Amino acid sequence: MNRNTKTKRPAQKAAGRVPKKRSTVGASIIKGLEQAVAWTRGENDDVHVTPVHVPEVDVREVRTKMGLSQAQFATKFGFPPATLRNWEQGRARPDAPTRVLLAVIAKHPEAVEDVLRKAS
């Protein structure tokens, strides 16, 4: 090969342009996590936060409307029967994710049943 032969460069480099560095999905996730950690430490107030209202659910009302005993309801939706009793008697309160699940059960029990049936 002749030393004087020049290799061709891509059009962008030949024109002196530097390609823009694209953000990858992973970089975007890492940036978001770093912002979240900074926000929880009180270091960054310039973060968009979307509050979510977690509903309060009367577990006994949901269960009785479905015509199920405590044992039936607990078995059908995967709750420990003792936990269900504690919720209904006010000795304990479902956590936020459980209240969301209970709200879905109250409005669309067939959707939860379908998911649980497919998972087993």
pLDDT at 47 over 80: no
**Domain boundaries 59-119, corresponding CATH code:** 1.10.260.40
53-74 per-position pLDDT tens digit: 899 999 999 999 999 999 999 9
Q: What does the alpha-carbon distance between residue 99 and residue 57 come to, in Å, rounded to a whole number?
A: 6
* More reliable by pLDDT, 84 or 13: 84
Out of 2-6, 95-99, 106-110, which region has the weakest mean confidence (pLDDT)?
2-6
Provide the residue ranges of all domains of the chain, joining segments of one domain with +.
13-40, 59-119
Map residue 74 onto helix, strand or coil.
Answer: helix
Q: How much is the CA Rg of the chain, to the nearest whole Å?
A: 28
> Which residues, including other chains, have CB under 8 Å from residue 106's CB and lie 6 or more apart?
57, 62, 65
Q: How confident is the model at residue 50 (pLDDT cuts 50, 70, 90)?
A: confident
Q: What does the alpha-carbon distance between residue 76 and residue 117 come to, in Å, rounded to a whole number?
A: 10
Share of the chain above pLDDT 90, in %: 56
pLDDT at 9: 53
Provide mean pLDDT across the span 8-16: 54
Q: Give which of 92, 111, 91 is closest to 101, Cα–Cα.
A: 111
* More reliable by pLDDT, 51 or 63: 63
